[in-house]
Each structure stands twice: as C-alpha cells, then as structure tokens.
C-alpha cells in the first residue's frame, strides 16, 4: 500500500518556508514571480460573506470557481425550489448537469487578448452571466451570476415541458415566482460593482501575500548573512588562537634556551665560591657572590616566564601523586626566610596538624605557595608580618556571579585551605579582580618599585586551576592582603 | 524572465534601482499616471507611513501582440535605504534590465556611487552577470539647483556604454523615455536567448510599436522618434 500524497495547502507552504530557512544563502526573487491560485490568496469565508451580502442586496445567486474549477463561493437565492423540483426528473436532471458543467468549464472568447464575459441561457428560460475574474491580465477564475429571469421574458420556456413530460406546468410556474426577475441593466450594474469589489479584494490580498513573503525572505536572507559573518569571525578567532599558541611555544623555547647557559653561569660561580679553582680574596668573593645572586634571580624570572607560557599554551602537565602537604608547605617557606630576615619581616607559619593527603602535583603546589609568599614579601614593607596558614576546610566554592550557582546554591566540598596574609600595601577594590591576569600590575610604578614580571599570580592561578581548585584575594588598601587557595581533597 | 511559448506568454522583469530618495517610487507613480489603464494594473506600494519604500513598488504592465503573445512586464522599485540591503537583493534577482535612478544633485554623488557599487555587488550575488544585464541610467531631479550640468551629462553620454536619460520625475519628464529604453533593452536580451521572432513574429520593432500604440499619441510620437535613434544603440552593457 502506498501512502497518500501530502495534503496541499498550508502544509506545503509551511514546508516551503522551512526549506527556505534551511537553505544556505537564499537569494531568490522568484517568490515574487510565482503564480498564485485564488484559493491561496483569498480567505474563503470572508469572501463568501462579502458575496452573500451582495446576493442579499440584489437577490441574485452568485457562484465563484477558481482557475482549477474549485468552487469557492455558492450563494443561492430564490431558484433552489425550482431547480430542486426539476432535479427530480431524469430528463431535466440531465439537462441541468450539462448546463452546470458548461457554466463551470466553457472557455471564454478573448478580445484583444482579454477574456470576455458571456451569457448562458438555461433550458428553463432562466439566464446566467459568466464573468472571467482577471487580475493583472491573469485569469484567476470565474464568477457566475444567476439564474434570473430576464425582465423581457414572459415566463418559463416552452421547451422545458418537452424535455421531461413529468414536469407539471402549474407547479413549475408557482416556483418561478420566487426567482428574481431582473432587467439587464440592473444585472450590468451588479456586475460592474462586483467586479470592482473583487478587484480590490484580489489586489489587497496579493499585497498582503507579497508583503508577508518578502518579509520572510528578507529575514531569512539577513539571517544567512549574519550566520556567514559569524562563521568568518569564528575562523578569524581560531586563527588568532593558533597564533597565540605559536607565540607561547616560541616563548617556551626561548626561555629554555636561556636557562641552560644561565644554569652554567650559576654553577661555575658556585664552584668559584667553593674555591675549587683556588681561593677567592676580598672583593673577588663579593663580585662572584653578586654574579651568583643576580644569576639566580634571573633564572627565577625565566622559570616564571616558562611556567606562564606553558600554562598558557595548554602544555601544563601535572605529575599526579598522593602526598602529604605539610612538608611541602613548610619547605616553601624556606625560600623567603633569608629575605624576611633582611627586611625584618615576621613570618608566622601555622599548619594545622593532620592535614589530609592531597592528590596532585607536589612541585606545582609548592610553587603556588612560593609564588604567593614571594608576592607578599614584595609588597610588605619593613617590619611587617606575613602569615602562612593551612587547615582542612569544608564549604562551598566562592560563587562565580554569572552562572546558576546563585540560583541553586553551591554544594559544600572538602578542601585544604591555604592562606597567605600580609600587612602590605593592599590592592584597590577595582583592581582586585585583575591581579591574576598575566602581566597585570596594579599600577606601573609597582613594577619599578617592587620588580617582577607580573606573572607570579597568573602562574598561581593556572596551577590552582589545573588542580580544579580556587584562589581568591581579599584586601584592604594600606592594611594588607589575604590570598586564599582551596585545593580539593 | 519567464518565456512560455506553450501558454503564449512572456513575462519580463525590470527593476528601478538607486540611492535612497532619488525618485524611484516617483518614477513608478508617474508611469502609473501616464500609461493607459488598459495596459497597466494597480500600483502596489509596500511602504512605510512616511512613503519610504519598505519592500518594493510594483507596477504591472501587460498587453497583447498581434502574433497572440501575451506580454507581462513587472516594473519594480527597490528600497533605497541602506538598511534594506537584503530586500534589494531579493527584488533585483532575476531582473531582465535595470534602470538606475541617480539623484542629479552634486551633494548626492557619494550616495549615487555607493548605490551603484551595491547594485553591481548584488547582481553578482544573485547570479546576474553585471556585464550582460542592461542598465539604463537616469539622472533625476533636473529641476533642482546645484546639479550636474547638462554638458557634464552629455559628455558622459558620449563615453558611457549605457543609455543615459535626464528626468524630472516629479513632473513626469523623462519617465516614459527611461521605461521605453529599458523595455527595449530587456526585450533585446530576451530575443538573444529565445527565438520569439520565429515563434510569434515578434521582433524588437514590433514589440515596441505594440507597446507605444497603447500610449497617448503625443507620447507615442515623441518616443517613437527616440527609439528610432535607439535602433543603433550605444550598446547595452556596462
Ligand atoms: N525636486 C524634485 N523632487 C523629486 C523628483 N523626483 C522625486 N522627488 C522627490 O524626492 C523624494 C523621494 O522620492 P521617492 O520617489 O519616494 O524616492 P525613492 O527613490 O523611492 O526613495 P526610497 O523608497 O526611500 O528608496 C520625494 O519627496 C519626491 O517628491 C524630481 O524630479 N524633482
Ligand atoms: Mg521608493
């Protein structure tokens, strides 16, 4: 069994719209050139109402067929009883059928290319006028006015009674009284009026149809154009990202190439200091010591650069192990102990006993703390205080503002919380959000005064992120800053 | 263009293109007034409350030739405002010939140039070959002060590959001339692709004569002499 074809009408039109929406780059003016059937153009119900009121006014029947022979309107007035009566007999029924077929289908004679109305006389002596409905030179359908009895006719045609002998004269003539008798000039007027009204209806409907179709088309076209623009932007963006990656790779390579010889410089300086090449005297020792120290801080800088560019290029690889954080944290403090002594900064270390075991990269976690302590050191003035503390902590991650956490709440998790607090210069409120950006300095003068690449905190952030942790800062200008790292257990 | 010999029907599409407010709609309004209601339908304007074209204006023109061919000509305008870019493209697509309505005022030079370039680009986008699609150029608003001089336009006529007309559309001057030339070129283009002459005995001269017969005699005479000149046209391609 084959499935029936899809129904015509709205469904097909909807799918045409659908198709035009999905078709790429639709620029199709043919929407304007399509030939439209009258049924698609005119709302059948309103059209019927309109013609009914005409029919009521002039008391004549009106039928409208579209170009394909579909009946759109059929308003009967007065003649139903007579026609119904004649339908009862074989002969008259046959004649009636033949007449109606002709009314519906007979071609119009054309004059100067335009189809002309014609008159059809019924076998009863009643009359119809058949008028072509033409819109801008195109035949849209036909209008049939009638039947009416022309005013100059005395009554029913004699031939009626010979078509079928069962037709009773008295009965037929009684029924004829209900049929409209009309002089031709009245019929002419009705047709002129009707023609004008229908023309307006067709024009208005066509206008409406074209407006909506063009509206859809231009929206569709604009949509495709925007989509194309978006695609281009996406491609550009991808190119830029690739460029960014290449830049990071380049940086990583260069940093590596710088480190190797620098390590040698430091190594040979140490050997000199240890007297392997003979004892150094007086200023010689001081000079070599300076070479070693400057070399070491240069190496630290380069290492930071390398870390940052690795993190940025997505090449950060973690050596995941399970480890006890306590010795890692304690070890990290040793990096700043000498500087603390020099700046007379009091360093307090408060590690809660029995910190839970962490799963992560031991060196990177150490690095996080070293960088945070280094940052605190840098911005804390002489005689200040730095505190490193750590404890187990259960609670929600800080909200991120723009996601649904605010709506649905944040589940509590277990963390090792590491806090580095200083009594430094603090960070202004409007800058707090940016301190973890690469190369960001709260103000340019801080670079000159405090040195550094502005990479330390960015590295902290990327390492913390790699551990699916959180880092944030609270700060009061002039009083100090407090950096908190949460590492999930 | 839709040519349907079986149904004895030829449909041409011509489009009035140009910058905003150059007088495209005015051209159509005047054509609507000047043409015999026997050959033209209603003017359909899809516009905004302040008479700016929103989608298009459409003036249908139709007549029959002696050979029994039904000619339907759809005359469209596009909206000139820059934001209606995609609509312009839709309306332009499938045009058999284009009338470019330029604003003669010197201050509009930039707008004219931009619109011209957008027309060429839109032709390419809609698979209309800009070198093969006839374009007729109309310098409108000749009644305004500070316009390109007649001498300037004459010089242009001598060198440009397009038919060039001057017009004051608001007074109906130059409007029929532009249309007739446009129809001539559109028909010529169709005749290159289909043998309308062999099938319906319809050559270019016959086509134009049939059309001119539907105009008031005063117009018809003037245009006939103009188009006789046009028998040796200065090419039709940019
Ligand atoms: N002085 C003068 N004004 C004109 C002439 N032709 C048109 N105008 C005026 O120019 C203004 C714009 O005319 P339209 O025909 O609406 O212009 P358009 O090109 O259809 O404009 P858009 O639909 O926005 O693209 C109207 O105020 C017209 O009256 C002319 O020949 N001379
Ligand atoms: Mg307009």
Residue to substitute from A137, A223, A224, interface B, most B β-carbons within 10 A:
A137
Q: ipTM of the predicted structure?
A: 0.80
Neighbouring CB atoms inside 10 A of A282's CB total 7
Q: What is the pLDDT of residue B54?
A: 87
CATH number assigned to the domain comprising residue B74: 3.40.50.300
Annotate B23-43 with b (16+ C-beta within 10 A) or e (fewer).
bbbbbbbbbbeebeeebbbbb
Question: How distant, in Å, are the alpha carbons of A82, A308, A350, A356, A387 from that of A416?
Answer: 101, 24, 13, 7, 16
Q: State the pTM of this model.
A: 0.67
User: What residues make up the domain containing B222?
Assistant: 2-235
Q: Is the peptide bond before A147 cis (omega within 30 degrees of 0)?
A: yes
Q: What is the pLDDT of residue B233?
A: 40
Domain spans of chain A? 10-219, 318-488
Report how many domains make up chain B: 1
Q: What is the pLDDT of residue A485?
A: 95
How do residues A41-72 score in pLDDT, each as one tens digit? Answer: 888 899 999 999 988 888 889 999 998 888 89
**Contact yes or no for B107/B23 (Cβ under 8 A):** no
- Cα distance between residue A368 and residue A461, in whole Å: 8
Q: What is the pLDDT of residue A442?
A: 63
Measured distance between the N- and C-terminal CA atoms of chain A, rounded to whole angstroms: 66
Successive 10-residue mean pLDDT values, chain A, 489 residues:
43 43 46 80 90 89 90 88 93 94 91 86 94 86 92 91 92 92 88 89 90 87 90 93 81 81 90 88 88 85 75 73 93 84 90 93 90 89 93 85 59 91 89 78 55 74 90 91 94
Q: What is the pLDDT of residue A246?
A: 81
What backbone torsions phi and psi does residue A426 show, to the nearest 5 degrees?
80, 170
Here the tokens at position A312 are 């940025």
Using the Cβ of A203 and the Cβ atoms of chain B, whether some distance falls under 8 Å is answered with yes
- Cα distance between residue B185 and residue B203, in whole Å: 12
Question: How distant, in Å, are the alpha carbons of A118, A184, A192, A193, B59 from that of A189?
Answer: 16, 9, 5, 6, 28
Q: Between A and B, how many CB-CB pairs are < 8 A?
A: 79
* pLDDT greater than 70 at residue B40: yes
How do residues B2-35 score in pLDDT, each as one tens digit? Answer: 888 888 889 999 999 999 999 999 999 999 999 9
User: Around B234, how many Cα atoms within 13 Å sit in the side-chain half-sphere?
Assistant: 14
How do residues A66-111 score in pLDDT, each as one tens digit? Answer: 988 888 999 988 888 999 999 999 999 999 999 999 999 999 998 8
**Contact yes or no for B60/B40 (Cβ under 8 A):** yes
Average pLDDT, chain B: 89
Q: What is the pLDDT of residue A39?
A: 85
Q: What is the pLDDT of residue A2?
A: 42
- CA-wise closest residue to B135 among B106, B171, B92, B103: B92
- CA-wise closest residue to B54 among B29, B84, B94: B84
CATH architecture assigned to A318-488: 2-Layer Sandwich (3.30)
Using the Cβ of A430 and the Cβ atoms of chain B, whether some distance falls under 8 Å is answered with no
Residue A209: CB partners within 8 Å, gap ≥ 6?
Answer: A36, A40, A41
Q: What average pLDDT score do residues B210-228 get?
A: 81
Residue to substitute from A67, A134, A136, interface B, most B β-carbons within 10 A:
A136
Q: What average pLDDT score do residues B201-211 get?
A: 88
Give residues 123 to 182 of B whose Cβ lies within 8 Å of A. Answer: 125-126
- Residues in B closer than 8 angstroms to A222, CB to CB, are 85-86
How do residues B168-193 score in pLDDT, each as one tens digit? Answer: 999 999 999 999 999 999 999 988 88
**Contact yes or no for B181/B34 (Cβ under 8 A):** no
**Residues framing ligand 1 (Cβ under 6 A):** B 18, 20-26, 51-53, 77, 79-81, 140-141, 143-144, 168-170
Question: How distant, in Å, are the alpha carbons of A90, A147, A176, B46, B115 from that of A125?
Answer: 19, 9, 11, 49, 66
Q: What is the pLDDT of residue A343?
A: 87
């Amino acid at each position: 069994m084959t499935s029936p074809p899809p129904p015509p009408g709205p469904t097909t039109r909807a799918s045409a719209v659908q198709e035009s929406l999905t078709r790429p780059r639709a620029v199709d003016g043919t929407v304007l050139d399509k030939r439209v059937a009258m049924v698609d153009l005119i709302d059948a119900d309103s059209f019927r109402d309109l013609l009914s009121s005409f029919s009521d006014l002039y008391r004549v029947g009106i039928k409208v067929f579209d170009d394909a022979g579909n009946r759109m309107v059929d308003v009967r007035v007065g003649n139903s009883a007579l026609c119904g009566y004649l339908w009862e007999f074989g002969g008259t029924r046959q004649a009636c059928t033949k007449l109606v077929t002709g009314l519906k289908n007979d071609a119009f004679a054309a004059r100067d290319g335009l189809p002309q109305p014609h008159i059809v006389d019924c076998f009863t002596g009643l009359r119809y006028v058949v008028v072509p409905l033409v819109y801008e030179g195109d035949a849209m359908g036909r209008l049939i006015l009638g039947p009416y009895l022309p005013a100059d006719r005395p009554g029913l045609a004699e031939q009626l009674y010979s078509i079928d002998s069962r037709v009773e004269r008295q009965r037929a003539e009684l029924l004829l009284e209900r049929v409209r008798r009309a002089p031709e000039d009245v019929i002419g007027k009705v047709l002129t009026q009707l023609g004008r009204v229908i023309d307006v209806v067709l024009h208005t409907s066509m206008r409406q149809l074209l407006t909506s179709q063009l509206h859809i088309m231009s929206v569709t076209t604009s949509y495709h154009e925007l989509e194309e623009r978006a695609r281009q932007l996406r491609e550009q963006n991808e190119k830029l990202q690739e460029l960014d990656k290449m830049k990071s790779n380049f940086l990583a390579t260069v940093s590596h190439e710088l480190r190797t010889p620098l390590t040698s410089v430091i190594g040979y300086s140490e050997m000199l200091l240890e007297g392997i090449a003979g004892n150094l005297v007086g200023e010689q020792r001081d000079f070599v010591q300076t070479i070693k120290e400057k070399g070491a801080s240069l190496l630290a800088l380069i290492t930071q650069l390398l870390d940052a560019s690795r993190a940025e290029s997505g090449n950060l690889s973690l050596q995941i192990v399970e480890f006890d954080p306590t010795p890692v944290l304690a070890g990290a403090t040793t990096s700043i102990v000498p500087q603390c002594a020099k700046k007379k900064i009091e360093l307090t270390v408060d590690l809660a006993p029995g910190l839970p075991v962490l799963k992560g990269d031991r060196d990177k976690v150490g690095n996080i703390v070293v960088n945070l302590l280094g940052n605190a050191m840098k911005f804390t003035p002489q005689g200040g205080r730095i505190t490193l503390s750590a404890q187990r902590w259960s609670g929600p991650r800080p909200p991120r503002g723009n996601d649904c956490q605010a709506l649905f709440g944040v589940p509590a998790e277990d963390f090792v919380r590491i806090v580095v607090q200083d009594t430094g210069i603090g960070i202004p409120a409007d800058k707090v959000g940016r301190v973890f950006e690469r190369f960001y300095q709260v103000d340019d003068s801080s670079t000159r005064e405090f040195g550094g690449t502005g990479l330390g905190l960015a590295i902290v952030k990327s390492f913390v992120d790699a551990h699916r942790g959180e880092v944030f800062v609270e700060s009061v200008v002039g009083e100090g800053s407090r950096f908190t790292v949460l590492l999930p257990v | 263009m839709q040519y349907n010999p079986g149904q004895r029907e030829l449909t041409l599409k011509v489009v009035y293109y140009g910058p905003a407010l150059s007088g495209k709609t005015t051209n159509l309004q005047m054509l609507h007034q000047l043409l015999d209601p026997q050959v033209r339908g209603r003017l359909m304007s899809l516009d905004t409350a302040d008479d700016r074209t929103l989608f298009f204006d459409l003036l249908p023109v139709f007549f029959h030739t002696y050979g029994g061919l039904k000619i339907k000509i759809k005359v469209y305008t596009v909206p000139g405002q820059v934001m209606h870019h995609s609509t312009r493209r839709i309306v332009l697509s499938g045009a058999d010939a284009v009338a470019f309505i330029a604003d003669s005022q010197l201050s509009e030079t930039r707008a004219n140039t931009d619109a011209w370039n957008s027309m060429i680009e839109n032709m390419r986008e809609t698979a209309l070959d800009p070198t093969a699609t006839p374009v007729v150029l109309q310098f409108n608003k000749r009644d305004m002060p500070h316009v390109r001089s007649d001498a300037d336009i004459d010089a242009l006529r001598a060198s440009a590959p397009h038919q060039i007309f001057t017009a004051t559309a608001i007074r109906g001057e130059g409007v029929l001339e532009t249309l007739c030339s446009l129809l001539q070129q559109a028909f010529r283009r169709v005749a290159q692709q289909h043998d309308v002459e062999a099938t319906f005995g319809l050559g270019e001269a016959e086509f134009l004569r049939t059309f001119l017969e539907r105009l008031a005699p005063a117009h018809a005479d003037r245009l006939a002499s103009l188009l006789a000149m046009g028998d040796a046209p200065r090419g039709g391609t940019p």
